[in-house]
Structure 1
């Protein structure tokens, strides 16, 4: 048993390390395709979109494998806090309504004003996997996302009118690499890890999962989350794209990353948004280009893992120690640990995980430029 556990742990460490190295070129490729997709319509636009979608599939598969290995190794630690469940569900409903529509399904959503206690990111992972499955195994009809209050708990439920699951299979669907039969021709059936992840995260959060299903009629998956008395106020909505682009016009951005392809990808993307970009592969390289950190700038984007054991956090501290006005910093990393999240938060920087999603990057940069100037 001990040997098996050790083997499992080394497999997990290997997967985490490999995934980090694989995410680097993938991240660069996604930055390039995003920059291409933002060009005015070109004859090759369809090809670029196909490449972008394929890269996204690879990214999702990799992410899923890494998540499973991290959950098994106990690396992921929940960050439990109260929040309004509407913050999570409204975004998911909007996202999956489009996905359902593309499969000619209807997605119904019943809003809820409940306040709950959970890890919002991990709960989102659970619900995303449940909604993806509901759409994947529903050839026609509809999917429903809604909640029911049950004493001190809120049951968040996903119903579908799909193929259903036989009673003797209800237990095994949560095992790794178990997949149902595809219901559409050419359907991507995934790795069969979606429900394994759901079960592992739910167990870690202490949330109960319920499943009921009738073959040929559909299924219901529910996750029970504790209700909360109070929750922080909703964050303000991000500004519209036009305003966002105006704010980025002429912004002077320094990008520090030890990967040449990522520097090039970032430059292409940010220059497309109208930014004036300086890219550097190391602290010394950056210092040389920007007058020993004294040059005018609005924002610093740094990779967390740099060469020779240096981190982006160290460099940001050195840069800001030399400046009269400190630069707002955005830290980019493939490290999902809570310790790092906490450290970055305490230092007042912003954190973003790889692979970087361009829309998210754009919103974060605007938010920082707004508050950086105000501060």
Structure 2
């Protein structure tokens, strides 16, 4: 039994070894088949190297995908911060615009009074030296007005809150007044003005277009040392549409072709050595370009060094549309003796402006009735109706738009007085350039003047309404 027991383990071992050898041969065949399959798939003669390379690429893809996700998360956070910064910037810009609008109104009140006093003094028969000093005061105040208006305009353009009020009007209503202003500015510098009047009618925003033409004329006078300035119009056909090209030219130094685009950028100015260049911010032509773009009025510049410059703005022509607001040009105005002895009411909650208006109107021969409150104005109007010696004719009432907080606004009051059937003709005076106010005035047939009031424009309006 001992011998049989010793032979049994040996037999079992041999059988096990045989089975293992068979399994090994079978696995080798499978491995060989797999290797042949891999090699036949184009993996080359190094299948295991290719496999390792694929694994490495997969790892790199995974890492780069994770990096991309982290970058996208960072970009999302950055975009959120940028969006918040944009909202804050827009809010700050809107706040700046509201602040400038409020400050400009408060600044325009004393400025308006100062210009009224200066204009009243210029109406007096002063000696040469006092007259020269008064003229310089008025010019300095005009410069302050221009700078303040420029800052407010550029702020409103940046904020996108400047809305044009497009309406038909006679171009003479605009250019006659501007020509007279330019004649005075040019005369002070020894320059001549050639003005070519026009009877055409155009469609635009009168106040914004006036800002464009006034800036162009101011530049023409400022940069011209000798010679003349031209203001005129010519009819053109553009794309089959009838247009009017309003031209402002000068005999100044001219503008080099390489700089003709740059001068429409902010804070770009002409020859710094030219006289009278200490005034201005270099924003005049930037405002011209941006307002013209807002109005869709093309701007053109033709200039050569040493041969002056010619700027023009092209405005759509329209058929003549007579309205109560049409202001006759200077040549058609009746004799200004109509102002002598006329009675004019003025309502403003600023005593200095009332005093300035009294002085200015008195220089024209007008008698003025002043009121700080609506109730005071209405009482004065009632007293005039009851008085037998009150001059006949329309009762012109100049009304400020911004009245006391507990009173109606000036435009509502003007509409109420005009509709009262008492022969009252209101003139609204305001520092608010809102297009809605101008549109409401036009629809109601009410003359609207902007602060600071231009004495020439006021005088023409009074002569027209009183006659």
TM-score of the pair, normalised by structure 1: 0.81
Please point out which of 248, 251, 272 is paired with 2:339. Answer: 248
Partner of 2:152: 66
- Distance in 1 (CA, whole Å) between partners of 2:256 and 2:316 is 30
Q: Counterparts in 2 of 1:50-61, with a 5 A limit? A: 50-61=136-147
With over 3 angstroms needed to count, the CA separation of the structure-2 counterparts of 1:263 and 1:138, relative to structure 1, is closer
Please point out which of 22, 38, 52 is paired with 2:107. Answer: 22
- Distance in 1 (CA, whole Å) between partners of 2:330 and 2:247 is 28
With over 3 angstroms needed to count, the CA separation of the structure-2 counterparts of 1:84 and 1:271, relative to structure 1, is closer
Partner of 2:321: 232
Partner of 2:410: 312
Structural RMSD (CA): 3.5
| Displacement after TM superposition at 1:79 (Å) | 3.0
Partner of 1:363: 460
Partner of 1:194: 284
Cα contact 2:334–2:463 (8 A) shared by 1: no
| Displacement after TM superposition at 1:37 (Å) | 1.8
Identify the range of structure 1 (68-77 vs 149-158) with the bigger mean alpha-carbon deviation: 149-158
- Distance in 2 (CA, whole Å) between partners of 1:89 and 1:347 is 24
Please point out which of 20, 39, 44 is paired with 2:130. Answer: 44
- Distance in 1 (CA, whole Å) between partners of 2:176 and 2:357 is 31
Cα contact 1:293–1:319 (8 A) shared by 2: no
| Count of residue correspondences | 367
| Displacement after TM superposition at 1:269 (Å) | 2.3
With over 3 angstroms needed to count, the CA separation of the structure-2 counterparts of 1:327 and 1:160, relative to structure 1, is closer
Identify the range of structure 1 (337-346 vs 289-298) with the bigger mean alpha-carbon deviation: 289-298
Q: Counterparts in 2 of 1:8-19, with a 5 A limit? A: 8-19=93-104
- Distance in 2 (CA, whole Å) between partners of 1:6 and 1:95 is 39
| Displacement after TM superposition at 1:305 (Å) | 0.7
Cα deviation code 1:275-325 (max 9, x no counterpart): 33322211233455566785456332221111114222444566678x772
Cα contact 1:182–1:189 (8 A) shared by 2: no
- Distance in 1 (CA, whole Å) between partners of 2:341 and 2:218 is 40
With over 3 angstroms needed to count, the CA separation of the structure-2 counterparts of 1:61 and 1:217, relative to structure 1, is same
With over 3 angstroms needed to count, the CA separation of the structure-2 counterparts of 1:314 and 1:177, relative to structure 1, is same
Partner of 2:69: none
Identify the range of structure 1 (112-121 vs 268-277) with the bigger mean alpha-carbon deviation: 112-121
Three-state SS of the structure 2 residue aligned to 1:301 is: strand
Cα contact 1:257–1:281 (8 A) shared by 2: yes
Identify the range of structure 1 (40-49 vs 329-338) with the bigger mean alpha-carbon deviation: 40-49
With over 3 angstroms needed to count, the CA separation of the structure-2 counterparts of 1:202 and 1:241, relative to structure 1, is closer
Identify the range of structure 1 (97-106 vs 191-200) with the bigger mean alpha-carbon deviation: 97-106
- Distance in 1 (CA, whole Å) between partners of 2:421 and 2:199 is 46
- Distance in 2 (CA, whole Å) between partners of 1:49 and 1:362 is 19
- The answer to whether 1:170 aligns with 2:256 is no
Cα contact 2:431–2:450 (8 A) shared by 1: yes
Partner of 1:77: 163
Unpaired runs of at least 5, structure 1 = 371-375
Cα deviation code 1:326-346 (max 9, x no counterpart): 422222111122221232334
- Distance in 2 (CA, whole Å) between partners of 1:320 and 1:167 is 54
- The answer to whether 1:133 aligns with 2:225 is no
Cα contact 1:110–1:147 (8 A) shared by 2: no
Partner of 1:184: 274
Cα deviation code 1:26-52 (max 9, x no counterpart): 111111122222222246333222222
With over 3 angstroms needed to count, the CA separation of the structure-2 counterparts of 1:161 and 1:52, relative to structure 1, is closer
- Distance in 1 (CA, whole Å) between partners of 2:436 and 2:344 is 27
- Distance in 2 (CA, whole Å) between partners of 1:191 and 1:12 is 19
With over 3 angstroms needed to count, the CA separation of the structure-2 counterparts of 1:191 and 1:225, relative to structure 1, is same
- Distance in 2 (CA, whole Å) between partners of 1:269 and 1:140 is 33
- Distance in 1 (CA, whole Å) between partners of 2:349 and 2:117 is 17
Identify the range of structure 1 (348-357 vs 113-122) with the bigger mean alpha-carbon deviation: 113-122
- Distance in 2 (CA, whole Å) between partners of 1:365 and 1:84 is 18
Cα contact 2:173–2:329 (8 A) shared by 1: no
| Displacement after TM superposition at 1:192 (Å) | 0.7
- Distance in 2 (CA, whole Å) between partners of 1:254 and 1:316 is 12
**Rg larger in 1 or in 2?**
2
- Distance in 2 (CA, whole Å) between partners of 1:255 and 1:240 is 26
Structure ranking higher in helix proportion: 2
Partner of 1:373: none
- The answer to whether 1:35 aligns with 2:35 is no
| Displacement after TM superposition at 1:99 (Å) | 4.4
- Distance in 2 (CA, whole Å) between partners of 1:11 and 1:92 is 31
With over 3 angstroms needed to count, the CA separation of the structure-2 counterparts of 1:106 and 1:10, relative to structure 1, is same
- Distance in 1 (CA, whole Å) between partners of 2:297 and 2:363 is 44
Q: Counterparts in 2 of 1:142-153, with a 5 A limit? A: 147=234, 149-151=236-238, 152=241, 153=243
